[in-house]
Amino acid sequence: MNKIILSADSTCDLGDLLKERYGVSLYPLHIILNGNQYLDGVDITADGIYDTYYKYNVLPQTAAPNPVEFSKYFKKWTDAGYDVIHITIGSGISSSYQNSCLAAHEFDNVYTIDSCNLSTGFGLLVIEAAELIAKGMSAREIVQEINELRSKIHASFILDSLKFLQASGRCSYLSALGANLLNIKPCIEVDNTSGKMSVVKKYRGSLEKVLKHYTNDQLKDRTDLKLDRVFITHSGLSDELIEVVQEEIKMVADFKEILITRAGCTVSSHCGPNTLGVLFMTK
């Protein structure tokens, strides 16, 4: 039986503890800020990005690793006798999948998967892949299984403000101004067939009230939940508000694990602080 390395883009936002728990190798995306290039989660943090924005009104650009970088990365594993499974952020929002595919073509035992998702939406797929490796499945079997699970992932986020989306050019000034004046907090949902995002609902009121309402809307009365785990992923939020969401989840669904992670630089640079998502799988 071949040895398998499970790898993923850093944008799966699993954090160090889950990375170690599931034996995942994370490959960082690039963050370009003020003319300098950094590696997501390696030599720059989301809080550092926020500080730069507030001081200089500058946001970073984000970029996928190029095919040459992926090729060198894959080669160190294949030379050591491993099959490689690499799961990327959705191809609808990044070139990471396309670039990793170009690199994978140089090898007979490197398999790339387009998660069609972002953040812990595809972190859920990474964990599923780790569990399949532990069961002794082959790399080809795992790739097929994970591709079939993509449509079972449900990822969405509540934005406290549209300031960062507006600053990055992903939202018009008038839309941002209107949302801020009316205290509207949009729910952004990820299309699990592409990874693209759209506004599906607009909430109004305090962030605590909105987060409670949003959590209920996501989970209450669902009979198809896969109850192994649910993620609360945030881009910098108070412990008190995270606890509010955690308690709300416990009231409406009996998940075995509620995993709390902090979004990395790539996601945080677009959504800004005080963003929170409840991410889960269905059967």
Question: Residue 171's pLDDT band (boundaries 50, 70, 90)?
Answer: very low
Cα distances from 88 to residues 43, 78, 97, in angstroms, run: 21, 19, 6
141 with 9, same domain?
yes
Summarize the confidence of residues 218-236 as an average pLDDT. 96
User: Do 153 and 192 contact (CB within 8 A), yes or no?
Assistant: yes
- Please say whether the beta carbons of 271 and 263 come within 8 A: yes
pLDDT band at 1 (very low <50, low <70, confident <90, very high): low
Q: Considering only 79-88, 179-188, 221-230, which range has the smallest mean pLDDT? A: 179-188
**Does the structure show a pLDDT above 70 at 182?**
no
Give the CATH number of the domain where residue 194 resides. 3.30.1180.10
Under 8 Å between Cβ of 230 and 255: yes
Domain end, chosen from 128, 151, 174, is at 151
Domain that holds residue 227: 153-282
- Written as one letter, the residue type at 123 is G
Average pLDDT score over the chain: 91
Structure tokens at 195: 């990874």
Chain center to CA of 48:
19
Nearest one of 13, 53, 99, 124 to 269, comparing CA atoms: 53
- In angstroms, rounded to a whole number, what is the distance separating the alpha carbons of residues 94 and 219? 29
Same domain, 204 and 131: no
Same domain, 81 and 111: yes
Do 262 and 235 meet the contact criterion of CB atoms below 8 Å apart? Answer: yes
Q: Which of 96, 92, 128, 85 is nearest to 10 (CA)?
A: 96
Q: Within this chain, do residues 11 and 107 fall inside the same structural domain, yes or no?
A: yes
Interval 122-150 mean pLDDT:
97
* For range 169-180, the mean pLDDT: 41
Q: Is residue 213 a contact partner of residue 158, using CB atoms and an 8 Å limit? A: no
Q: Does the structure show a pLDDT above 80 at 214? A: yes
Note the pLDDT of residue 108: 95
Helix (H, G, I), strand (E, B) or coil at 3: strand
What pLDDT sits at residue 175?
44
Residue 170 pLDDT > 50: no
Distance CA 225, CA 42 (A): 34
d(CA 173, CA 205): 21
Tell me if 130 sits within 8 A of 24, measured CB to CB. Answer: yes
pLDDT band at 200 (very low <50, low <70, confident <90, very high): confident
Q: How many C-beta atoms lie closer than 10 Å to residue 54's C-beta? A: 9
Angle between helices 96-104 and 67-78 (to 10 degrees): 50
Enter the pTM of the model: 0.92
**Same domain (yes/no): 100, 159:** no
The pLDDT, as a whole number, for residue 213 is: 97
Together in a domain, 175 and 268: yes
CATH number at residue 85: 3.40.50.10170
